[in-house]
Each structure stands twice: as structure tokens, then as C-alpha cells.
Amino acid sequence: MKLSDEKTIERLLYLLKTRGPQTAVALSENVGTTSVAVRQHMEKLAQKGLVESEDRRESVGRPKKYWQLTAKGDQKFPDRHSDLTLEMINSIVDVFGEEGLDQLIAKREKRSFKTYDERLSGASTLKQKVTTLANIREQEGYMAEIEPVDGGFLLHENHCPICVAATACQGFCRSELKLFEQVLGEDATVTRENHIVSGARRCTYRIVEKAS
């Protein structure tokens, strides 16, 4: 079934968010329309400041045009209640100090661990655990997906719904990494390889089985 223009545009923006820079041809294959139609959509989105393009020279042939989200386009996938969150963080620090904020983060981590641990209780293999973890994060708005690699998996999070909070306080990011380590058990090693707060397009965690 052919998507409406509005649905097509939503899908195009989502693909750029989750997959990074794409050519019109690659995008057209995913939305079921022609590359000409995709280019027309991209030009209109570029006029609105939501996307931009760059020419990339590959091994052979002419340079290819790759489309990507602008900062304005990225705001189509907003932080959850960002202004209120930042105001509350600043208020907590003002009233209770950094120690009070650390206690709040620890409390959040403990509550999340209970929820995650219950969801992962039926998983026995690393693949099952990582898949369940990705499903939880997807439901929480992180646009999560997994990629098999040698020895384990990459967990990609294409969006951070708490980005403002994480930018204001790195303790949130440290807490989430610790949470992953706890729920995946002692048999797995978790390393954050890419970090949205540090300027990367997405957060990526390498999760591999520990050598026995």
C-alpha cells in the first residue's frame, strides 16, 4: 500500500534518525517510492531546514548525494519534558547539593534494575538478554536495535529521550552503563563505544561474553 506524503515524510525522517546519512536511492527502497519522489521530499525538507545534503565521492563513478538530519530536524524527536527536567535538576542541586542529585540517580537506577531484572529473568542466553534489553529500551523511547558482532552484540540507541538531563549531569549516563552491566550478569562485558552527549549520532554499547 502506498504511503501518503505525510506518512512518507515521517518515515524518511525516522530512517535518517535511526540509520544516519542515506542516499535518495537507499531511502526510496525503504519507503516504497521512487528515488525521484524522495529527492522532491528531501528538497522540501531542506527548505524547512530539517535536512541537509553532502556529496561523497566513493570508489568509482560520480559523487553521491547523502541526506542527513540537521539539528532542527533532530528536534523532531524531542527529549522528554526537557525544560522541566533541567529545571528540576538545577532545583535539586540548589536545595540538596550534588549529593542529593547522586542519591536521586541511585534511586532511579535501583528502580530500573528491579524492572529490567524482572523482564530479563526468563532469558538464559546472551542473545536473549540483549534482545530483551533492546525491547525495553525501545519501549522507553531510545529507538534501540541490536547488531550481531564477533563475540556478542552492539546495542545501538538512536535517540536519547533524557538527553537534556544526561547533558546536565553525566551521572545519568554512568548510571545507565552500570545498570546494563548489572542486568546482563557477570558473564558479559559492556563497553560504551559511542555517546550522543559527546557528539555522536547515537549511543552504542558493545556487549560481549567474557572469556571463560
pLDDT along the chain (212 residues), means of 10: 74 90 92 92 94 86 88 77 71 88 91 94 93 94 94 94 79 92 90 92 93 68
Q: What is the pLDDT of residue 2?
A: 47
Co-location of 128 and 159 in the same domain: yes
Domain housing 58: 5-74
Domain boundary among 74, 103, 121: 74
Closest C-alpha to 67, from 37, 43, 32: 43
Q: Which of 40, 74, 108 is the last residue of a domain?
A: 74
Q: Tell me the whole-structure pTM to 2 decimals.
A: 0.75
**133 and 194 fall within a common domain:** yes
**Residues 90 and 15 placed together within one structural domain of the fold:** no
Same-domain pairing of 104 and 12: no
Same domain, 96 and 113: yes
* pLDDT score, position 82: 62
Q: Domain of 45: which CATH number?
A: 1.10.10.10
At 126 the pLDDT is 94
Q: For the chain, how many structural domains are there in total? A: 2
Same domain, 112 and 200: yes
| CATH code, 100 | 3.30.1380.20
Q: Residue 90: its pLDDT value, please?
A: 83
Task: Determine contact, residues 179/136, Cβ cutoff 8 Å.
Answer: no
Q: Which of 16, 46, 74 is the last residue of a domain?
A: 74
Neighbours of 27 (CB within 10 A): 23
Given a contact cutoff of 8 angstroms between Cβ atoms, the answer to whether 186 and 198 are in contact is: no
Q: Which long-range contacts (CB under 8 A, 24 or more apart) does 112-119 make?
A: 112/179, 113/179, 113/182, 113/183, 116/179, 116/183, 117/182, 117/183
pLDDT at 93 (0 to 100): 87
